[in-house]
Amino acid sequence: GAGVSQSPRYKVAKRGQDVALRCDPISGHVSLFWYQQALGQGPEFLTYFQNEAQLDKSGLPSDRFFAERPEGSVSTLKIQRTQQEDSAVYLCASSSGLAGSQGSYNEQFFGPGTRLTVL
């Protein structure tokens, strides 16, 4: 079966441009997470969706970052007016169960990520 897919795999943007990163989770997965991974570091949480509801966006670094999952499947992470510090790999992960203290037991399946480079 298909895993989590992300597109584009690589994106180069000039500073100030807007970008949109897409995530296709595993079909039927309720939970969807976005993470940011800087070079040589572990992934850092950005935001969480349960179906179409964005229940946690505490990790979004600024109001230039916006995520949506309008139909509860595909998700898009949008970054407006990109800055050099936004350069990173953006990972999407999906999980079959609900998050929360019980949902912490569910493994997250990661996509290959989108490598964003802001010049």
Partner 1 sequence: QQPVQSPQAVILREGEDAVINCSSSKALYSVHWYRQKHGEAPVFLMILLKGGEQKGHEKISASFNEKKQQSSLYLTASQLSYSGTYFCGTAGGTSYGKLTFGQGTILTVHP
Query: Cα(57)–Cα(60) distance, rounded to whole angstroms?
Result: 6
**Is 106 an interacting residue with respect to partner 1 (CB under 8 A)?**
yes
Alpha-carbon distance values, 45 to 12, 32, 36 (Å): 22, 11, 7
**Is 32 an interacting residue with respect to partner 1 (CB under 8 A)?**
no
Q: How far is the CB of 59 from partner 1 (least distance, A)?
A: 7
The type of residue at 59 is G
**Is 51 an interacting residue with respect to partner 1 (CB under 8 A)?**
no
Q: How far is the CB of 51 from partner 1 (least distance, A)?
A: 13
**Is 21 an interacting residue with respect to partner 1 (CB under 8 A)?**
no
Residues that bind partner 1 (CB under 8 A): 3-4, 31, 33, 35, 40-45, 48, 55-56, 59, 91, 95, 98-101, 103-113
